[in-house]
């Protein structure tokens, strides 16, 4: 530790956010980085714990506590505190290939497990990570560094989300020749089209893709493996294949009127906005618009919140976000002690913005849609909502007689994902589990088909970007060992 009393001398300071009413006028990231002096102070707050839960990444009561990547957080916090930024960058990238992504979109599991947070305010780990990687780009430390030798082995990665990119990055660094196939028109998977610009501006994704490209990774877009190119062709051309297509099959809701014009899946809505923003500066008529509409968002997770924020920026007339479950407590309860992940209510950026614009938090708890209402043309005009309560079996069930009719011209379904789309798995003949995820050997990424591996949400089901990156890292190590007989990754 640079200062053993730093956690007592300095208060926690995080990167401040722009005023909610100001930031909704654009689609840019809205946090202002801390000054270098303040960042050093925040690094001094790290206590270099004997047992650093922040980097543990272990499961406690079924929830991940600490960083799934096992980032060496106390080490680079110390280096930040003494201004050794280049060394901090090297320590950070020993475990994390994409700190430019995680420092923006990760929910900071590390901070939730920080010892300072047990009886006070956690260290601002994510803000420190952001400063390290941005300083690395500013000073040229993160520039392309192609491998000096090639192994002669060829690897195909199907899917360019965080898991696929992580696997590709590591295997390329090892010296294998890696080709990444993406069915969309841009590389990045959910990093590109599933996460709004406000959380992750797309030039940040493109910056890293350009680095990887110059290091030798080959990216092929607009190619849908299993349709545009066969599994047999890939198997003939490559020594190993990694399936990292994500869990892109959205969970639907089965209610009367579901086919109404104006009901969309959340990911389709978010993608349409981001694509139009990149293609033509959000030209009217080129995306699904919430402008002037009463909007219902079904789902209370991160995707639902992103939909709320996007609708506010479109100029929606009103936004309501439905959550099936009861509101979580504002503080940890006795049965949820540190360092477990805190099961508490958080108000995210989209909800803050909706409250600033419409005067109230958009969330309505213990409520769902019973029916969609349409006009004579099949256009959505409203919805019947119903309250929910916990039944004897623990499930949420409708409260009879609690129905209310509300106006709605746009509904976005953000109810999570059921797993991977089936056609890629069928094309390769790999086995799937009962949740439609690609099955693999126990504690492994090997599928039922020789030389075919799987990683990320396609393997685990819907999860966090940081977990997908870890999946890609672990899969790359396994592929490398099988190709070479050992791995130094």
Query: What is the per-residue DSSP string for 222-286?
Result: S--BTTTB-HHHHHHH-SEEEE-----EEPP---BTTT-BTEEEHHHHHHHHHHHHHHHSS-TTS
pLDDT at residue number 50? 87
Same fold, 6-138 and 252-415: no
Q: Residue 400, class by beta-carbon neighbours within 10 Å (0-12 exposed, 13-18 middle, 19+ buried)?
A: exposed
- Stretch (H or E) spanning 423: helix 422-428
Domain definitions of the chain by residue range:
6-138, 154-248+418-484, 252-415
pLDDT at residue number 261? 97
Which stretches of the chain score pLDDT less than 70? none
Architecture label for domain 6-138: Orthogonal Bundle (1.10)
Beta bridge partners of 115: none
pLDDT at residue number 326? 96
Beta strand pairing status for 218-220 and 380-390? Answer: unpaired
pLDDT at residue number 1? 74
pLDDT at residue number 442? 92
CATH of region 154-248+418-484? 3.50.50.60
Give which of 339, 307, 333 is closest to 320, Cα–Cα: 307
Maximum C-alpha span of the chain: 71
- Alpha carbons 96 and 105: distance in angstroms, whole number: 14
Predicted TM-score (pTM) above 0.85 = yes
* Sign of the Cα pseudo-torsion (95, 98, 100, 102, in order): negative
pLDDT at residue number 324? 96
Residues 6+ away with beta carbon under 8 Å from 443: none
Contact 447, 440 (CB under 8 A): yes
The answer as to CATH 3.50.50.60 being correct for domain 252-415 is: yes
Provide the total of helices (H) and of strands (E) in the chain, helices listed first: 18, 18
């Amino acid at each position: 530790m640079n200062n053993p009393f730093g956690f007592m001398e300095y208060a926690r300071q995080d990167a401040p956010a722009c005023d909610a009413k100001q930031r909704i006028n654009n689609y840019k990231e809205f946090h202002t980085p801390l000054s270098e002096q303040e960042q050093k102070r925040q690094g001094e707050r790290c206590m270099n714990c004997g047992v650093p839960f922040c980097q543990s990444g272990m499961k406690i009561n079924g929830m991940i506590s600490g960083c799934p990547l096992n980032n060496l957080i106390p080490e680079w916090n110390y280096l930040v505190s003494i201004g050794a930024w280049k060394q901090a960058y090297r320590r950070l990238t020993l475990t994390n290939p994409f700190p430019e992504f995680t420092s923006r979109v990760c929910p900071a599991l590390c901070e939730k497990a920080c010892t300072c947070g047990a009886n006070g305010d956690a260290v601002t780990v994510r803000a420190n990570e952001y400063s390290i990687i941005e300083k690395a780009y500013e000073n040229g430390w993160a520039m392309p560094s192609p491998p000096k030798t090639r192994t002669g082995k060829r690897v195909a990665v199907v899917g360019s989300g965080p898991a696929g990119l992580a696997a590709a990055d590591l295997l390329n660094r090892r010296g294998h020749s890696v080709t990444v196939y993406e069915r969309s028109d841009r590389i990045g998977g959910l990093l590109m089209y599933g996460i709004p610009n406000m959380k992750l501006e797309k030039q940040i994704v493109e910056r890293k893709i350009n680095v990887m490209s110059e290091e030798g990774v080959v990216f092929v877009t607009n190619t849908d493996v299993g349709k545009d190119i066969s599994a047999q062709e890939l198997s003939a051309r490559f020594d190993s294949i990694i399936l990292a297509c994500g869990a892109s099959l959205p969970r639907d809701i089965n209610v009367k009127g579901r086919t109404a014009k104006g009901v969309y899946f959340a990911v389709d809505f978010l993608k349409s906005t981001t694509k139009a923003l990149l293609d033509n500066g959000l030209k009217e008529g080129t995306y699904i618009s919430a402008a002037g509409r009463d909007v219902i968002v079904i789902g209370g997770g991160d995707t639902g919140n992103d939909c709320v924020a996007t609708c506010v920026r479109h100029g929606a007339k009103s936004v309501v976000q439905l959550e099936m479950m009861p509101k979580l407590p504002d503080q940890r309860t006795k049965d949820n002690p540190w360092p477990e992940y805190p099961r508490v209510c958080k108000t995210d950026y989209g909800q803050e913005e909706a409250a600033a614009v419409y005067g109230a938090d958009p969330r309505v708890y213990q409520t769902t849609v019973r029916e969609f209402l349409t006009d004579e043309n099949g256009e959505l005009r409203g919805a019947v909502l119903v309250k929910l309560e916990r039944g004897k079996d623990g499930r949420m069930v409708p409260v009879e007689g609690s129905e209310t009719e509300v106006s709605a011209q746009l509904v976005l379904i953000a109810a999570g994902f059921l797993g991977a789309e089936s056609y890629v798995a069928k094309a390769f003949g790999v086995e799937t589990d009962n949740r439609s995820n690609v099955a693999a050997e126990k504690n492994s990424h090997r599928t039922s088909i020789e030389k075919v591996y799987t990683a990320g949400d396609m393997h685990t089901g819907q999860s966090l970007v940081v977990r997908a990156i870890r999946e890609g890292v672990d899969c790359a190590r396994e592929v490398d060992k099988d190709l070479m007989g050992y791995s130094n990754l």
